[in-house]
Amino acid sequence: MSNETNHTTPESSSELLRATRRNALRGAGLAGMLALGGGSATASRNSSEANTQEAETETSAADESVPVTWENFPRSQIHLMMENIVEQGGFGEFYHFPTIVGPEVRIAALPNRDTIYSIGVFDLTEPVTITKPDTGDRHQSMVVMDEDAYVKEAYQDSGEYTLTQDGVGTRYVWVIVRTFVDPNDPDDVATVNELQDELAVRQNSAGAFEIPNWDRQAHDELFDALVTVMKTMEDFSGAIGDVGEVNPVKYLLGSVTPGGVPEPETIYLQRIPDQNDGDTPHTFTVQDVPVDGFWSVTVYNSDGFLEENEYDAYSFNNVTAEPNDDGSVTIHFGGDPDEPNFLYTPAEWFYVVRLYGPREEILDGSYQFPDAEPLE
């Protein structure tokens, strides 16, 4: 396997990943996704086309649709997410997003806009070795998931990591690399793109991609039902992890948005304000949030996705938010769009706070991140 890269322009990325229920992209997750490095653009494009053609040939083998139930939903979800990335060329190598995701990207519910994704699907009939580059002080995580949406590993450090079928437990593995970026700084985006190119993959053979012909209608119906309940979770503790580490109910609900970084590396807080009609302004103010990585807040619509709006106002983090004179940060949910750190709020909105690298004060509960309150 050559160390080639599959990048796309922002325009082509939007077209490739534009969501349709027919393609079952609603069920793909966060956020949380793609991956690898080296080689010319022409060479990488040819490599991606070859891998995709092989994968499409293999997936066409299944004719009868397989029913989707609560018991096998996590696997159907992961398979449909994998299929989407494979179609973009991320089979046997990484597919790199060129920048943060927008509302047109619906690979999975609750996408984050703090990192640039690199995602790859690998057939572990042959072991694969992934080299994660040294990113210095910049946050970069690599999450390894099996076909059942269990997180097998979450790597923060640079180095070589070899994945095997025995170790992962399933034939296919889904690898998500997230690299923190300041999307408002073109130079920083370019730096992250270079770091994406330093991701490298070694594998004797890419293998083939073959999944069941899942009943897409049943999958979508169950997805919608699970999202409705998932939004009531205040956090994702117990939802992300390996077999035996998770709460079975929260794991099932969390499988609508798989691929998160497990605790204690990351804490996810989810809140639905009582007055989330889209017209009632809310705010919160934070200062000195005890994290070693970063904190962020993102607003989602009732389906768990970004709601396109004229202000392009979806999220802020401790780098992109404008501070107050005392160094604190006030986030404005709805209301006057001219306010600093304004976030658009559609009807039935909710939000997720991400705490990357939480310190002990967060983990032991002595620090509580504030909730958004209606503006008086």
- Identify the CATH number of the domain in which residue 284 sits: 2.60.120.1600
CA quadruple 371, 179, 46, 53: dihedral positive or negative?
Answer: negative
Among the residue ranges 25-39, 254-268, 271-285, 296-310, the one predicted with the least confidence is 25-39
Q: Which of 271, 258, 292 is nearest to 369 (CA)?
A: 271
Pair (281, 141) in one structural domain: no
State the average pLDDT over residues 111-136: 97
Q: Please state the φ and ψ torsions of residue 295, each to the nearest 5 degrees.
A: -120, 155
How high is the pLDDT of residue 58?
Answer: 55
Name the DSSP letter for residue 242.
Answer: S
Domain assignment present for residue 220? The answer is no
Is 94 domain-assigned?
yes
Same domain, 154 and 302: no
Identify the pLDDT of residue 289. Answer: 98
Q: Output the CA torsion sign for 18, 22, 23, 25.
A: positive
Distance CA 107, CA 15 (A): 13
Separation CA 334–CA 349 (nearest Å): 10
Q: What is the pLDDT, as a whole number, of residue 6?
A: 53
178 & 40 share domain: yes
**240-259: average pLDDT:** 95
Same domain, 283 and 153: no
**146 lies in the same domain as 289:** no
What is the model's pTM?
A: 0.82
Average pLDDT over every residue of 102-124: 92
CB atoms within 10 A of CB 244: 6
- Would you state the pLDDT for residue 63? 73
> pLDDT of 153-193, one tens digit each?
999 999 999 999 999 999 999 999 999 999 999 999 999 99
Residue 197 and residue 332 in one domain: no
CB 19 within 8 A of CB 105: yes
Same domain, 184 and 315: no
Hey, what are 200's tokens?
Answer: 């490298």
- Same domain, residue pair 26 and 160: yes
Does 53 map to a domain? yes
pLDDT at 105: 82
Pairing of strands 151-155, 329-333: unpaired
> Residue 107 domain-assigned?
yes
CA distance 373 to 343: 14
Establish if 21 belongs to a structural domain. yes
Q: Flag whether 157 is in a domain.
A: yes
Contact 116, 206 (CB under 8 A): no
Mean pLDDT for the chain?
86
Answer yes or no: is 188 within a domain.
yes
Residue 256 is assigned to a structural domain of this protein: no
Q: Tens digit of pLDDT for each residue in 208-226?
A: 999 999 999 999 999 999 9
Q: What is the pLDDT of residues 307-350, one digit of tens each?
A: 999 999 999 999 999 999 999 999 999 999 999 999 999 999 99
pLDDT at residue number 4: 43
The DSSP code for 327 is S
Encode pLDDT of 34-83 as tens digits: 222 222 222 232 234 444 444 543 544 447 999 999 999 999 999 999 99
Give 108 or 195, the one with higher predicted confidence: 195
282-298 pLDDT per residue, tens: 999 999 999 999 999 99
Mark whether 201 and 270 lie in a shared domain. Answer: no
Domain carrying residue 284 = 264-374
For 124-163, what is each residue's pLDDT tens digit? 999 999 999 999 999 999 999 999 999 999 999 999 999 9
Contact by Cβ (8 Å): 345, 278: yes
Contact 218/27 with Cβ under 8 angstroms? no
Total structural domains within the chain: 2
338 with 281, same domain: the answer is yes
For residues 186-212, average pLDDT = 98
- pLDDT (average), residues 80-90: 95
Q: Residues 286, 367: one domain? A: yes
Contact 52, 44 (CB under 8 A): no
Same domain (yes/no): 211, 268: no
Q: Give Dmax (Cα) for the chain.
A: 63
For residue 248, the Cα-to-chain-centroid distance in whole angstroms is 21
